[in-house]
A and B are shown apart, each in its own frame.
Chain A
Amino acid sequence: MPKDPLRTKLCEMLGIEFPIIAFTHCKDVAVAVINSGGFAVLGEAMHTPDEIAADIKWIRDRIDGKPFGIDLVLPASAPASETVEDIIAKIPESHKKFAAEIKQRYDVPDPKGFIDLHQWGGLNQEIARAQLDVLLDERVPVIASGLGSPAFILDAAHQRGMKVFGLVGRTRQAKRQLEAGVDGIIAQGYDAAGHTGSMGTFSIVPEVASIAGDTPVIAAGGVTTGRHLAAALCLGASGVWTGTLWLASRESDIDMIIKERLLASTADDTNYSKCISGMTMRVLKCPWTDEWSRPDAPVPLPPPYQMLLSSDYIQGANDNRRADLMTEASGQGVGFITSMKPARQIVFDMVEEALDAFESLTGEPE
Chain B
Amino acid sequence: MKQFDHWSFYNPVQTLVGQDKIKDLPAILATMGCKNPLFIVSQTAMTNGVMELFEAETDNNQYPLPTQEVTTDTIELLVHYFEVHQHDGIVAIGGGTVMDTAKITRLQLSLPSYTLLQLEGSIARQPERKIPLILIPTTVDSGSGATKTAYIRSTQPSSFLRFEQVLLYPDITIIDPKAFKVTSGVQTALGVAAVLARAVESLTSILSCPAVETYALQAIRLLKTHVFRIVHTPHDLVARTQLAIASQLAGIAISQTGASLAHAISITIAQTTPITYAQSMFIVLPYTLHYNLRANESVLSNIGACLREEETDHHTESEPDALAAIQEISDFLNSLTDSLPQAIPLRLYESQALLPVQLAQIAETACGSLDILTSKQAPTFQDMLRILEAAYWGYPLDREHQDYTIYQRG
Pair from one complex: no
Interface residues of B (CB under 8 A from A): none
